[in-house]
A = this chain, B = another copy of it.
Amino acid sequence: MNLKQLSHMLSLSQTTVSRALNGYPEVSEETRRRVMDAAKRHGYRPNPSARRLATGKSGMIGYVLPTGASVDIDPHFVEFLSGLGDYARSHELDLVLSPADADDEETTYRRIVANRQVDAVYISSPRPADRRLALVNTLGIPFIVHGRSEGLDFDYPYLDIDNEGAFHEAARLLLQLGHKRLALINGNERETFAIHRERGVRRALAASGMTLGERHIRSVTMTEENGYRAARRLLEEAEPPTAIVCSSLIMALGVVRAVRDLGLTIPGDLSLIAHDDVFPWLRPENFPVPLSTTRSSIRLAGARVAERLAARISGLEEGARGEVWPVDLVVRGSVAGAPV
């Protein structure tokens, strides 16, 4: 059942039927009702390929997925996707993942824009002066950044959490508890979120007249193993930290293991706070010692990004509005006063 057949059986032109269906004003209410009725009765669904060719709109949102034999997709991605998908579903939006060579995403961005494959894209894990943002900005496709960049000479729409504030609060709490030697086990230092977190910790220390030594900060990909290694190195120093702030629950698993291996205890010898993106399958309250966290649901972020993307597509949102979510500090058993 296509438009031609439908209009024929209604003795109307394709024009009128099309307009009736798409809510254009130049069609009488009675006719519209007739058309709507017949469409529903015959289960007419406009062919998206045809519509796309005619309008250039695809009804999909895009994501360029960096791939490669040695490229790992962030496990956070799946949670973000849950939220995104949940919203997208209610708006009949599909998501197209365009795999790209991790060393050359630009080609793929250009392709999906030139081909008008998607109506909007989102970008995640931005870095300072991220070239993808400049690219996508000049290409003129609607987009939203999940996270933030820095040092760009233009504004852009984004959704981010207050990483600096969160880690500032975490560090401040530890300082208030009397800790003098803090360490930070961070994510990849080239990503903005990690930079912001470091900044937060430094700011808290500075307020107490302290600084974060080179040796007291580790920036690594967020795996259990890297958490373990980082913690071991830190804890085996001459003057080991008495408190650690850690950028992910997964790394925190490694930290806990290192602490145990060294015969130390939490929070007796070491206080620990980690960032929690809220995974259904790993919860901080279930750590051997319930873990204090800075918490922000990455899933909700996914839903919100989808919502804003949809708004941009339909022209309801414009401009470079940035949105920063506050982060909860949830104190559990893993922090205590500094050991004497």
Residues of A in contact with B (beta carbons under 8 Å apart): 45, 47-50, 52-53, 56, 58, 60, 65, 67-69, 71-75, 77-79, 81-82, 85-86, 88-89, 93-101, 111, 114-117, 222-225, 228, 250, 253-254, 257, 260-261, 279-283, 286, 288
Contacts and interface: CB of A to CB of B under 8 A. Distances in A.
A280 B223 contact: yes
B78 A75 contact: yes
Given A73-B82, A78-B78, A286 B89 contact: no
A159 to B, nearest CB: 19
State the oligomeric state as a number of copies. 2
Contacts of A97: 81, 85, 94-97
A96 B60 contact: yes
Contacts of A95: 96-99
A222 B99 contact: no
Contacts of A223: 280-283
B75 A283 contact: no
A115 B73 contact: no
A68 B89 CA distance: 9
A49 B112 CA distance: 12
Contacts of A52: 49, 52-53
Contacts of A254: 286
A264 to B, nearest CB: 14
Contacts of A69: 86
A190 to B, nearest CB: 18
Nearest to A76: B78
Nearest to A254: B286
Contacts of A279: 75
A72 B286 contact: no
B68 A73 contact: no
B281 A48 contact: no
Nearest to A283: B225
Nearest to A288: B257
A117 B115 CA distance: 15
Nearest to A63: B97
7 contacts: A47-B53, A49-B52, A67-B89, A71-B86, A93-B99, A250-B281, A253-B253
Nearest to A70: B280
A75 to B, nearest CB: 6
Given A86-B67, A286-B228, A288-B257, A222 B281 contact: yes
B224 A286 contact: yes
Task: Point out which of A45, A56, A68, A97 has the most chain B C-beta atoms below 10 A from its C-beta.
Answer: A97
Contact of A114 (B45, B72, B73): B45
A284 B279 CA distance: 20
B85 A65 contact: yes
B67 A72 contact: no
A101 B91 CA distance: 12
Given A224-B281, A257-B288, 6 more contacts: A48-B117, A72-B280, A73-B79, A86-B99, A96-B96, A223-B281
